Amino acid sequence: MAKPKIALYWASSCGGCDVAVLDTNEKILDIAGVADIVFWPIAIDFKYHHVEAMEDGAIDLCLFNGAVRSSEQEKIAKLLRAKSKVVVAFGACACFGGIPALGNFTNRAEIFQRAYIEAPSNANADGTFPQTLTRVSEGELELPEFFDTVLTLAQVVDVEYFVPGCPPPVDIILKVVDFFATGRLPPAGSVIASDKTLCDECQRIKEEKKITRLYRPHEIIPDPKRCLLEQGIICCGPATRGGCGLRCIEANMPCRGCFGPPPGVIDQGAKLVSAIASIYQGDSEEEIARMVGEVLDPAGTFYRFGLADSILKRKHCQQP
């Protein structure tokens, strides 16, 4: 039997998902042994035209990381979809938008204004902005177009599986490889992680107690054995899927939700609001108003990784 063909691609992302693949250490050699890597722009010399020349469905598995925020990324997502039997949204950005999707609180014009005009180190008296087409003395230079809105991969193409995490942990990466090596594929649409919440998997002591105030992480030294939320620190554990290995919790820091919503939850942020509301003890309207005020950045905290995939999707922006 021919070895399965794997493609890896990155779009709007940081490269951390690719380092995560590298962090399989010596097992990367095993992966190269059981599969042919036919496209991995960051590592191997196949070009878009090589992919274009492939027959539809020629790639067995495509691991696509990064969100989609440019016309080029959208084009490659569609190309890889056509050429792949199975497409996996790999990592938080491809699954939910991730940190780049915090850009959906703003838009292209505001980002350009800040980056190229306002930033205090700029020496740009002429107000130059990058252009998709520039005429220089020797000829023309092109740049791809930058979207207003960051999209998840599934908002652009059909996706079979979702591997969450920022970045995905090594055990889950090896699990995905094993599915393909053995042909034991889970049902389409599966999220390859735990079906429990992070809270369910967390070993910290929970006392089912109520809280009367919130602390920001730098304002308190939390007991490393007790539930962070019950110590007044916002932790996204109740509204986040498990399977991450509790990496942040072990470092005595609260979850920020990079594994996305647990099964049955459509909107991670809405679920978090209700989880926090249920633990908050407030007897008067003033108390409640104070507590609400203690959540300083609700949108950026509850939708840290999931804005593009939420019901909100983005801040409303007026089109010129």
Partner 1 sequence: MKKITIDPITRLEGHGKIELFLNDEGDVENAYLQIPELRGFEKFCEGRPVEEMPRITSRICGVCPGAHHIASTKAADAVYHVDPPPAARKLRELFYCAHIIHSHIAHFYALAAPDFVLGPTSDPAQRNILGLIAKVGLEVGSEVIKHRAYAQDIQAVIGGKATHPVCGLPGGMSKPITEEERKDFEEKAKSLVEFAKFSLKLFDDLVLANQEYLELITGDIYAMRSHYMGLVDSNNRVNFYEGDICVVDPEGKEVARFKPADYLGHIAEHTEPWSYLKFPFLKKVGWKGMVDGKDSGVYRVNSLARLNVADGMATPLAQAEYERMFETLGGKPVHATLAFHWARLIELLYAAERLLELCRDNEITSPEVRTIPTATPDEGVGVIEAPRGVLIHHYQTDDKGIIEKVNLIVATVMNNPAMNISIRKAAQGLIKKGKVTSEGLLNMVEMAFRAYDPCMACATHALPGQMPLEVVIRDSQGGVIQKLSRHLTAKPLEIEILGG
Residue nearer to partner 1 on the CB measure, 144 or 189: 144
Q: Report d(CA 63, CA 174) in Å as an integer.
A: 13
Residue nearer to partner 1 on the CB measure, 119 or 289: 119
- Work out how close the CB of 20 gets to partner 1 at its nearest, in angstroms, rounded to a whole number: 6
- Work out how close the CB of 117 gets to partner 1 at its nearest, in angstroms, rounded to a whole number: 9
CA distances from 307 to 97, 105, 158, 236, 291 (A): 7, 9, 19, 14, 23
- Work out how close the CB of 264 gets to partner 1 at its nearest, in angstroms, rounded to a whole number: 27
Residue nearer to partner 1 on the CB measure, 47 or 210: 47
Q: Report d(CA 124, CA 112) in Å as an integer.
A: 12
- Work out how close the CB of 50 gets to partner 1 at its nearest, in angstroms, rounded to a whole number: 8
Residue nearer to partner 1 on the CB measure, 129 or 274: 129
DSSP letters, 284-308, are SHHHHHHHHHH-S-HHHHHTTTTTT
Give me 77's structure tokens. 């997502």
Give me 74's structure tokens. 């959208």
**Is residue 163 a contact partner of residue 91, using CB atoms and an 8 Å limit?**
yes
- Work out how close the CB of 212 gets to partner 1 at its nearest, in angstroms, rounded to a whole number: 19
Residue nearer to partner 1 on the CB measure, 121 or 319: 121
**Is residue 31 a contact partner of residue 8, using CB atoms and an 8 Å limit?**
no
Q: Report d(CA 262, CA 279) in Å as an integer.
A: 19
Residue nearer to partner 1 on the CB measure, 160 or 229: 229
The HSE-up count of residue 247 (CA atoms within 13 Å, CB side) is: 13
- Work out how close the CB of 59 gets to partner 1 at its nearest, in angstroms, rounded to a whole number: 14
